[in-house]
């Protein structure tokens, strides 16, 4: 078979994990990133749930990432005036065999980039802002702003919420059939919240926060999440907008002045019984306001173009699921590509046709869509609940749920099962299996999968295995 080559657009976390996965699958690729580096200092935190750590383990990068991970063990929730609503353990370790682990985004990106094997690293090209893509029956040509072009078999758009690949796919689809249904809107996401995000080194911050504890404040129109890791603390304040923004023309550019204004609005909001937000903001190394888009795109692929990560779905960060969902996208998509390329090689086919690719992309979307729709809806619901969007939300969140420990029950009976049902790569071993009380549903298909199924037929954990 003639060489099959993937062009990955975007060197954010999803793009870099795609690069690792393609390399592991033995599929040739080139990655184009518009910035001068794949690990700019943007300054927020990002966390991994256990299903992503299984995949990172398969990609041999867990050891590189472990030093930048900060485990979360407990959660404390307060009201605006510092009244403790609830204190609960994070049950991820017990249920799924690993903590929810926070990383400084820049450190994570650096670890993802640095841990690429040399052969893969040499395929990452920076200062390549993709401006155009042409698609033929046999391949793609991707042009960057500097006039250079890359030829390949397909494009994977991992280029974030304002994805150029998604925009180009939309234009090509309209050109082919102006009346086509299932087209993406120009702005496929809605913004109903914005957020003030920032971080500081613990040595420069106020006393009164405990490492590995996740702090939340719930109140009308605002909610916060603050996490103190071993060296650094990250904060995010969610603010409900008066009117959701749905049009591209409504995009807002946030300035330093608007950041300060936002901080002033919530300066006296309690983070704990003693600490108020002003004390965190004053210690900031970096802080900025960002819009929080929500939604799932209608079209995930067109001919030889396919999207993953924030380019396809966007959710508010409160459930820590944006990147974790992207890891699942990459896992499912690369499994399909690996199967397709292996079958074509075995059958000694000359090429993989556009129809075969569209079928594989359709199967990828079908497998992911159900999960993603659910995550986006649940994440949106939770944010409205904790920012007391209605009297019902206030009563349930402030009084009823804490009384019955409902969030813990919901984690054990719902989210832990969801985590356990997530996918792994078919073709790579798990070297450090995770064992929790909730049985994993999926295992690699490789012979020596390195992950002995430790559960008996009734789904009970058997330590002897």
Ligand X SMILES: Cc1cc2nc3c(=O)[nH]c(=O)nc-3n(C[C@H](O)[C@H](O)[C@H](O)COP(=O)(O)OP(=O)(O)OC[C@H]3O[C@@H](n4cnc5c(N)ncnc54)[C@H](O)[C@@H]3O)c2cc1C
For binding to ligand X (CB under 6 A), which residues are involved? 9-15, 32-35, 44, 46-47, 128-130, 158-160, 164, 197, 236, 290, 309-310, 317, 320-324, 326
Which residues, 6+ apart, have CB-to-CB distance to 165 below 8 Å? 9, 130, 133, 155, 157, 159, 305, 307, 311
| Of 13 and 50, CB closest to ligand X | 13
Cβ neighbours around 389 below 10 Å, total:
17
**What minimum distance in Å lies between the beta carbon of 128 and ligand X?**
6
| Of 164 and 384, CB closest to ligand X | 164
Residue 464 tokens, joined: 């002897």
| Of 99 and 449, CB closest to ligand X | 99
| Of 74 and 180, CB closest to ligand X | 74
**What minimum distance in Å lies between the beta carbon of 373 and ligand X?**
16
**What minimum distance in Å lies between the beta carbon of 72 and ligand X?**
10
Residue 383, helix vs strand vs coil: helix
DSSP 135-150: E-SS-EEEEETTS-EE
* Per-residue CA distances from 84 to 75, 192, 272 (Å): 11, 27, 8
Residue 333, helix vs strand vs coil: helix
| Of 356 and 382, CB closest to ligand X | 382
**What minimum distance in Å lies between the beta carbon of 385 and ligand X?**
18
| Of 12 and 139, CB closest to ligand X | 12
| Of 309 and 444, CB closest to ligand X | 309
Q: How far apart are CA 58 and CA 61, in angstroms?
A: 8
| Of 164 and 407, CB closest to ligand X | 164
Q: How far apart are CA 120 and CA 190, in angstroms?
A: 36
**What minimum distance in Å lies between the beta carbon of 327 and ligand X?**
8
Cβ neighbours around 343 below 10 Å, total:
12
**What minimum distance in Å lies between the beta carbon of 7 and ligand X?**
10
* Per-residue CA distances from 273 to 81, 84, 102, 198, 366 (Å): 8, 7, 24, 21, 46
**What minimum distance in Å lies between the beta carbon of 179 and ligand X?**
28
| Of 238 and 352, CB closest to ligand X | 238
The count of residues in the chain is 465
Q: Give the residue at shortest CB distance from ligand X.
A: 12
| Of 146 and 348, CB closest to ligand X | 146
**What minimum distance in Å lies between the beta carbon of 100 and ligand X?**
8
Q: Are 59 and 21 in contact (CB under 8 A)?
A: yes
**What are the phi and psi torsion angles at 446 (to 5°)?**
-65, 155
Cβ neighbours around 438 below 10 Å, total:
25
Q: Are 105 and 247 in contact (CB under 8 A)?
A: no
Residue 217 tokens, joined: 């404040």
Residue 181 tokens, joined: 């249904």
| Of 124 and 183, CB closest to ligand X | 124
Q: Are 266 and 222 in contact (CB under 8 A)?
A: yes
**What minimum distance in Å lies between the beta carbon of 351 and ligand X?**
27
Q: Are 46 and 13 in contact (CB under 8 A)?
A: yes
**What minimum distance in Å lies between the beta carbon of 315 and ligand X?**
8
Q: How far apart are CA 337 and CA 153, in angstroms?
A: 11
**What minimum distance in Å lies between the beta carbon of 10 and ligand X?**
3
Q: Are 92 and 17 in contact (CB under 8 A)?
A: no
């Amino acid at each position: 078979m003639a060489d099959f080559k993937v062009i990955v657009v975007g060197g954010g976390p999803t793009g870099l994990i795609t690069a690792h996965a393609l390399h592991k699958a033995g599929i040739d690729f080139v990655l184009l990133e518009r910035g001068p580096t794949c690990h700019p200092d943007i300054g927020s935190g990002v966390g991994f749930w256990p299903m992503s750590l299984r995949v990172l383990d398969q990609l041999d990068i867990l050891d590189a990432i472990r030093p930048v991970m900060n485990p979360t063990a407990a959660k404390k929730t307060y009201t605006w005036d510092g009244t403790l609503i609830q204190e609960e353990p994070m049950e991820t370790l017990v249920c799924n065999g690993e903590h929810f682990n926070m990383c400084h985004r820049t450190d994570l990106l650096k670890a993802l980039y640095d841990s690429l094997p040399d052969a893969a690293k040499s395929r990452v090209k920076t200062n390549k802002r993709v401006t155009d893509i042409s698609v033929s029956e046999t391949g793609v040509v991707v042009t960057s702003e500097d006039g250079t072009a890359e030829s390949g078999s397909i494009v994977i758009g991992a280029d974030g919420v304002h994805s150029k690949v998604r925009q180009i796919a939309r234009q090509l689809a309209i050109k082919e059939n102006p009346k086509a249904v299932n087209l993406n809107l120009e702005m496929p996401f809605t913004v109903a919240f914005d957020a003030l995000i920032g971080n500081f080194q613990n040595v420069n911050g106020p006393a009164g926060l405990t490492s590995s504890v996740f702090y939340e404040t719930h109140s009308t129109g605002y909610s916060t999440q603050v996490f103190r890791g071993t060296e650094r603390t990250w904060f995010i304040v969610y603010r409900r907008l008066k009117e959701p923004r749905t049009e591209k023309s409504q995009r807002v550019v946030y300035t330093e002045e608007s950041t300060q204004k936002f901080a002033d609005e919530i300066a006296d909001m309690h983070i704990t019984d003693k600490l108020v937000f002003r004390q965190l903001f004053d210690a900031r190394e970096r802080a900025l306001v960002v819009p929080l888009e929500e939604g799932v795109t209608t079209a995930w692929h067109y001919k030889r173009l396919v999207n993953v990560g924030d380019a396809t779905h966007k959710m508010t960060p409160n459930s820590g699921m944006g990147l974790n969902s992207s890891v699942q996208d990459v896992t499912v998509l690369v499994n399909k590509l690996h199967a397709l390329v292996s079958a074509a090689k075995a059958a000694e086919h000359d090429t993989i046709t556009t129809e075969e690719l569209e079928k594989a992309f359709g199967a990828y979307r079908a497998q992911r869509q159900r999960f993603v729709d659910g995550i986006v809806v649940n994440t949106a619901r939770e944010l409205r609940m904790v920012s007391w969007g209605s009297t019902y939300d206030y009563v349930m969140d402030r009084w009823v749920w804490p009384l019955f420990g409902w969030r813990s029950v919901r984690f054990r009976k719902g989210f832990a099962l969801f985590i356990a049902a997530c996918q792994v790569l078919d073709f790579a071993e798990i070297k450090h299996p995770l064992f929790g009380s909730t049985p994993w549903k999926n295992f690699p298909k490789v012979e020596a999968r390195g992950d002995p199924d430790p559960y008996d037929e009734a789904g009970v954990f058997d330590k002897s295995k």
